[in-house]
Amino acid sequence: MAKINIAKFMGDNFKVENYAHLHWEGDFQDYLDLVEKNPIIARNAFQRVHDMIMSYGTEKYTEYKKDITRYKFFDDPFSNGKDAVYGIDVHLMKLVNFFRAAAAGYGTEKRILLLHGPVGSAKSSIARLLKKGLERYSKESVGSLYTYEWIDKEESDILGGEKVFSCPMHEEPLKLIPTSVRMDFISEFNKQSDDFKLKIKGDICPACRYIYNEYMKKYDGDWLQVVKHIKVKRLILSEKDRLGIGTFQPKDEKNQDSTELTGDINYRKIALYGSDSDPRAFNFDGEFNISNRGIVEFIEMLKLDVAFLYDLLGASQEQSVKPKKFAQTDIDEVILGHTNEPEFKKLQANEFMEALRDRTVKIDIPYITRLSNEVKIYCKDFNQETIPHIHIAPHTIEMASVWSILTRLEDPKKADLTRLQKLKLYNGKTLPGYNEDNVKELRKESIEEGHFGISPRYIQDKISNSLVKHGHTGCLNPFMIFNELEAGLKHHALINSPEMLDHYREMLTVARQEYEDTVKNDVQKAISVDETAIQSLCANYIDNVKAYTQKEKIRNKYSNQLEEADERFMRSIEEKIDIPESRKDDFRREIMNYIGALAIEGKTFDFKMNERLHRALELKLFEDQKDSIKLTTIISKVVDKETQEKIDVIKSRLIKNYGYCEICATDALNFVASIFAKGDSAKS
């Protein structure tokens, strides 16, 4: 067996020069030189987060006549899309606008950012993205930032007999510039910088302030001598190392202690320093302390004890925290919380929390209501790369997504519109009588949509269960998913009434019917796949429609006689898409007007340009051909050789053109054959 050489896997990430670059060290003047060359290294936390998001670029598109910006950062480019967030671009725009305003100093930097939405709506994913992104950004040249440590070769008592004392809150080195000269320094510096205007806000932490004052005494106020004890170093943010990124999660109320946020006394060091009020004997390791220069996340923020919420007031508005026995300590960090609807309603109802509500910017993070985006969530986890040994039949993920979105929609107020049609309109499909403006109005009148319904987590769990149960079959189909989704409803912890249970089951019935129509459509397409035949059928229909609308006669290609337009033929196509007798003239004029408009532009009409006509032609061709194939004979055990050959051709088309495998293609044909068999028996 050959030996594995680990060195070949290290690549560029572990080169010595890269390590040295990420662990740069220098004196205070070296750092000033760096700032002069690249002022943005002295950005505050909000500026850094905003620049990080923008560094990944944007995409623009239009939806309902409104310009939407998609920030590529939320595609999770640094983890191969693991935490990618889809379908809520409008809400993510509001999130980025919050950071943009905070970066400019317009006031939102003094607010708590609260992500609000139902369970499983990607609040935690967004927080995770921001934290992961900030870690990665701090390793890049464009995202570099620096902190400092005190050094004393004499191991003096000022540093407690140590040679090195690192700033416990990894402060910005420019904070060491005395406040008496800051304004002059900033004014002079900003004259040289056009793009970025430097600001130095706040004071150094209590421990550094104590050491600073002691050295000032030692050197009789000679600041230049004091900063000789400063070594500036590159700061790499890391949640695991508790450097610039913190996370706080509520614990048992009886055991909650606000020192978890602001730090606590180190009793072992009291003997060394002689007093519990000596800042060197204090651990500035609360979540607010260690998150300085970065971001702190509060999981289920509104479940925190009231004492913690009071700490949040000062941390947001005054941008400072109050450690035990010490003065207010300045912080520079993004405070990010997330919560769900019941907890937020409790906050609104609590009159004692008025101050917190006033300091909070709420960003709604709802469930997705656009089918194509919901499908992306599940395809990210369940695809041929992640589960190569099991084929996922076409429409399996889509049908689970259809059901989940149906549960999140309100019933349309218009009597002629079903909930399923509403779903399709939201997904960009067209329906007669509905345009972009109508769909926009539908969304406006249903402002609660996306704040209730089935969570994506439930769908993910049930797909996983189905894979475990049916993995041995080699193919996962929609029926397996439907059965699993329904079986789990009676044990679903978030279903709190019989009415809700009945409603979810009713939506499953709608989704099943949609699948029945979809799989029939696939089989019909596989049978009537001959585009030449459809083109010929279309040309014949257009000739008849033209003759009808212009009150002309059409020449019979066989007898060469002029005849009236074939009304029976035209209606046989129009009835396939439910065009009533009373609407046939409108439909025909609509087709001819469209063809005329294309002709003016120098374009030729193609049947694929009109989705409804395309579908009608396919159905007509299928109707004409299905009897010759005898699809219903599939469910009988006796199939003649000629029919079997035709069935095999259809099956191969399903596999080649529509993503089926041998197993699910057979299942689809059997299912559709059983539907037609029921239809035939019903007619008889």
Task: Evaluate if residue 314 carries a pLDDT over 80.
Answer: yes
Q: Are 282 and 210 in contact (CB under 8 A)?
A: no
Per-residue model confidence (pLDDT) at position 682: 43
Question: Top-level CATH class of 141-174+196-332?
Answer: alpha beta
Query: What is the Cα–Cα distance from 127 to 295, expressed in whole angstroms?
Result: 9
CB-based contacts of 545-552 (< 8 A; 24+ apart in sequence) = 545/570, 545/588, 545/591, 545/592, 546/592, 548/588, 549/588, 549/589, 549/592
Q: Which residues neighbour 98 within 8 Å (Cβ) at sequence distance 6 or greater?
A: 108, 111, 113, 361, 363
Task: Evaluate if residue 597 carries a pLDDT over 50.
Answer: yes
Question: How much is the average pLDDT of 630-642?
Answer: 59
- Nearest 10 degrees: CA dihedral of 355, 360, 362, 363? 180
Parallel/antiparallel/unpaired status of strands 295-298 and 320-321: unpaired
Compute CA distances 426 → 228, 372, 373, 435, whole Å: 64, 10, 11, 11
Question: How much is the average pLDDT of 80-95?
Answer: 92
Per-residue model confidence (pLDDT) at position 681: 42
Residue 537 is encoded by which pair of tokens? 């059928």
Task: Evaluate if residue 392 carries a pLDDT over 70.
Answer: yes
Task: Evaluate if residue 32 carries a pLDDT over 60.
Answer: yes
What residue type is 48 in one-letter code? R
Per-residue model confidence (pLDDT) at position 650: 84
Question: How much is the average pLDDT of 608-631?
Answer: 72
Task: Evaluate if residue 17 carries a pLDDT over 70.
Answer: no
3-state secondary structure labels for all residues of 455-509: CHHHHHHHHHHHHHHHHHHCEECHHHHHHHHHHHHCCCCCCCCHHHHHHHHHHHH
**Nearest-10 crossing angle of helices 662-683, 498-527:** 100
Largest Cα–Cα separation, the chain: 117
> Predicted confidence band at 529 (pLDDT cuts at 50, 70, 90)?
low
Task: Evaluate if residue 313 carries a pLDDT over 90.
Answer: no
Per-residue model confidence (pLDDT) at position 435: 81
The percentage of residues in the chain with a pLDDT greater than 70, rounded to a whole number, is: 92
Which of helix, strand or coil describes residue 183?
Answer: helix
Per-residue model confidence (pLDDT) at position 228: 95
Per-residue model confidence (pLDDT) at position 270: 86
Question: How much is the average pLDDT of 246-254?
Answer: 77
Residue 595 is encoded by which pair of tokens? 């063809």
Question: How much is the average pLDDT of 46-72?
Answer: 93
Task: Evaluate if residue 117 carries a pLDDT over 50.
Answer: yes
Q: Are 171 and 177 in contact (CB under 8 A)?
A: no
Q: Are 111 and 360 in contact (CB under 8 A)?
A: yes
**What residue ranges of the chain are covered by domains with CATH 3.40.50?**
141-174+196-332
Partners of 63 in the β-ladder:
66
pLDDT in tens, 543-565: 888 888 888 888 877 677 788 88
Query: What is the Cα–Cα distance from 449 to 366, expressed in whole angstroms?
Result: 8
Partners of 283 in the β-ladder:
264
Task: Evaluate if residue 504 carries a pLDDT over 70.
Answer: yes
Query: What is the Cα–Cα distance from 129 to 85, expressed in whole angstroms?
Result: 9
The percentage of residues in the chain with a pLDDT greater than 90, rounded to a whole number, is: 50
Parallel/antiparallel/unpaired status of strands 295-298 and 334-339: parallel
Residue 243 is encoded by which pair of tokens? 């450097």
Phi, psi of 64 (to 5 degrees): 55, 45
- CA angle (630 as vertex; 617, 614 as ends), nearest 5: 10
Per-residue model confidence (pLDDT) at position 362: 93
Question: How much is the average pLDDT of 10-20?
Answer: 63
Per-residue model confidence (pLDDT) at position 555: 80
Lowest mean pLDDT across 89-93, 215-219, 297-301? 297-301
Per-residue model confidence (pLDDT) at position 201: 92
Complete DSSP assignment for 88-124: -HHHHHHHHHHHHHHHTTSSGGGSEEEEE-STTSSHH
Q: Are 138 and 145 in contact (CB under 8 A)?
A: yes
Task: Evaluate if residue 90 carries a pLDDT over 70.
Answer: yes
Mean pLDDT estimate for the chain: 87
Query: What is the Cα–Cα distance from 83 to 52, expressed in whole angstroms?
Result: 16
Query: What is the Cα–Cα distance from 440 to 425, expressed in whole angstroms?
Result: 10
pLDDT in tens, 666-684: 899 888 888 776 654 444 3
CA nearest to 544, candidates 567, 520, 565, 528: 565
Indicate if the alpha-carbon torsion angle 84, 85, 86, 89 is positive or negative.
Answer: negative
- CA angle (308 as vertex; 303, 312 as ends), nearest 5: 105
CA nearest to 508, candidates 471, 481, 541: 481
> Predicted confidence band at 48 (pLDDT cuts at 50, 70, 90)?
very high
Can you say whether residue 274 is alpha, beta or left, with left for phi > 0 and alpha for psi between -120 and 50 degrees? left
Q: Which residues neighbour 428 within 8 Å (Cβ) at sequence distance 6 or greater?
A: 370, 372
Indicate if the alpha-carbon torsion angle 303, 240, 229, 282 is positive or negative.
Answer: positive
Residue 179 is encoded by which pair of tokens? 């406040």
Per-residue model confidence (pLDDT) at position 6: 63
Query: What is the Cα–Cα distance from 638 to 358, expressed in whole angstroms?
Result: 75
> Predicted confidence band at 630 (pLDDT cuts at 50, 70, 90)?
low
Which of helix, strand or coil describes residue 563?
Answer: strand
Task: Evaluate if residue 611 carries a pLDDT over 80.
Answer: no
Query: Cα-atom radius of gyration of the chain, to the nearest Å?
Result: 34
> Predicted confidence band at 20 (pLDDT cuts at 50, 70, 90)?
confident
Q: Are 30 and 232 in contact (CB under 8 A)?
A: yes
Query: What is the Cα–Cα distance from 483 to 508, expressed in whole angstroms?
Result: 10
Complete DSSP assignment for 390-426: SEEPTTHHHHHHHHHHHTTSPPPSSTT--HHHHHHHH
Residue 281 is encoded by which pair of tokens? 């004997």
Question: How much is the average pLDDT of 343-367?
Answer: 85
Residue 247: CB atoms within 10 A of its CB come to 17
pLDDT in tens, 478-490: 999 999 999 999 8
Per-residue model confidence (pLDDT) at position 301: 84
Query: Model's pTM, two decimal places?
Result: 0.84
Question: How much is the average pLDDT of 589-613?
Answer: 82
Per-residue model confidence (pLDDT) at position 410: 93
Residue that wins the pLDDT comparison between 674 and 39: 39
